[in-house]
Structure 1
Amino acid sequence: MREIRQGRYVARLARGPGDVARAQALRAEAFLGTAGGCDADAHDAACLHLLVEEARGGRLVCCFRVLLLEDGAGIARSYSAQFYELSALAAFEGRMAEMGRFCIRPGLTDPDILRVAWAAMTRLVDEHGVAMLFGCSSFKGVETAPYLDAFAVLGARHLAPRRWWPRVKAPAVFRFAERLKRHKPDPRQAMRHMPPLLRTYLMMGGWVSDHAVIDRQMDTLHVFTGVEIGAIPAARARLLRALAG
């Protein structure tokens, strides 16, 4: 994938171990609150790593990794499969990509960072003929109370199609679709507490599991998230491809 330059930012693939180490350090800061640390696991070696840097100075502001799969038969190798029972998706016949460890440098709120990141992801999807994008979308912390409105909206409007239904596998989960059936959410509060990555998935017609995994190691609540590329609304697809160039 050739690099993408937009405004203040450049998106590109990692070029070697040094770039991967920079991404792992940013992940440690974003997810674990550890400056100078390293968030690494066995999945890193099988993934492409995308970096978004400031064009002037090269500071890393965002990163994520991508695992490419020829079809659903390989989904057991994904990071998500540790936490969700994904046997239904093993029947998916097209190419798949797992987007993981997405993070933006703490304290940065420029929406152009997310736009450039999605431009890079769009180009990667098109270049590799990906038919489904999936991953875990994380809410900060493991307390559910701040996110009840967001979870109620997910349960009411955005659950996965039954043919791809992710089932419970993790030992600690919050079954929000069942628990919040009678909860009347405040739409403004729901969107305020919806993670930016998840908001983008939903705007593309994405869907989620009916439960959130309580991941105390990463200090997050996360939901399995998927979107079939062919189901993305035409206007949204045109916008993403225009960003990708």
Structure 2
Amino acid sequence: MTAQPIRSVQQARRLITEVTRDPARIREAQELRYRVFSEEYGCDLGAVEPGLDADQFDSRCDHLMVSDSSTGTLVATTRILRSADAALAGGFYSEGEFDLSTLLNNTGNVAELGRTCVHPDYRNGATIGLLWATLAGWLDQHKVDQIIGCASIGMSDGGHRAWRIARHLQDRYLSDNEFRVQPRRALPHLMHTSHENRPVEDIPALLRAYMRLGAKVCGEPCWDPEFRCADLLVMLQVSQLAARYNRHFMRQPA
């Protein structure tokens, strides 16, 4: 069933949000994702069609979009895959990177969040807060209990930063045992550990947002050779989202 567009407007910031499965709009999301991800991870993402970050999950997902109403430009996007649609797609995207069997046996209605990106010129509280507000409305509408998703850390330094951040997050935000996952491609362990004692100040923005909203890290990182990054599987209890969203995003400046 095609999702009905859900729209809201924030006039002061000229941002419009919608949730859609329209193929033309999905293509815009794929173009934005490619521009952002290829630059940040320094690779072509294994793109089948040049300039597009696309896979078999896109047509099964609801896509959350934030656009600048003054130009019509798409400035932020993420996608959500419901359990029923995941079954039609052959599973969740993250099942290609992690064994989720233990986690899925201990959760209620699960949805997967993925491919979240924001145009560099719009990386501010207004854009990110509006994206999360739209997500919160979608989760309430579909009675979702938990959201899961892969959050990436670049490995341009060979993996030292990824291990340092992963260890820091595991120390502070590790999930209970019943929600642990196992990576299908373990991140290679490093022989040199001189970077481990450096302060952890460069956690990616998406991971910081997840942690502020109460997410848990569900185990060891997975190596994603296509994106040249390390992925952590994170899980967020939706019941905690509303209060934490209000606390961390509603008062942020544009």
TM-score range, shorter chain: 0.7 to 0.9
Matching of residue 14 in structure 1 with residue 44 in structure 2:
no
Q: SS at 1:92's partner residue? A: coil
The alpha carbon displacement at 1:10 in A equals 1.2
Seq. identity, % = 26
Length, aligned pairs only: 232
SS for the counterpart of 1:77 is: coil
Matches of 1:203 and 1:78, distance apart in 2: 24
Cα pair distance change 1:118/1:233, threshold 3 Å: closer
Matching residue within 217, 220, 235 for 1:226 = 235
TM-score (norm 1): 0.82
Alignment of 1:1-245 (within 5 A): 2-6=6-10, 7-14=13-20, 16-33=22-39, 37-69=51-83, 77-141=91-155, 143-170=158-185, 172-174=186-188, 183-184=196-197, 186=199, 190=200, 192-230=201-239, 232=240, 235-239=243-247
CA-to-partner distance for each residue in 1:159-214, whole Å, 9 max, x for gaps? Answer: 121011111212x42569xx98xx5562xxx2x32122211211122111332222
Q: Deviations over 1:79-105 (max 9, x none)?
A: 000000111122135211100011112
Report if aligned partners of 1:8, 1:56 keep a CA contact under 8 Å in 2.
yes
Unaligned runs of 5+ in 2: 45-49
* Cα deviation digits, residues 98-157 of structure 1 (max 9, x gap): 000111124543232111111111111111111001100012345322345422321211
Task: Give the root-mean-square deviation of aligned CA atoms.
Answer: 3.0
Q: Note the residue ranges of structure 1 that are not aligned, 5 or more in a row.
A: none
- Kept in 1: contact 2:162–2:230 (CA 8 A): no
Equivalent position SS for 1:217 = coil
Give distance in 1, aligned partners of 2:86 and 2:72.
Answer: 37
Q: Is the 8 A contact 2:129 2:249 kept in 1?
A: no
User: Cα deviation per residue 1:53-95 (whole Å; 9 max; x = unaligned)?
Assistant: 1121111111111101269999971000000011112213521
TM-score, normalization: structure 2? 0.80
Answer yes or no: is the 8 Å Cα contact 1:75–1:90 preserved in 2.
Answer: no
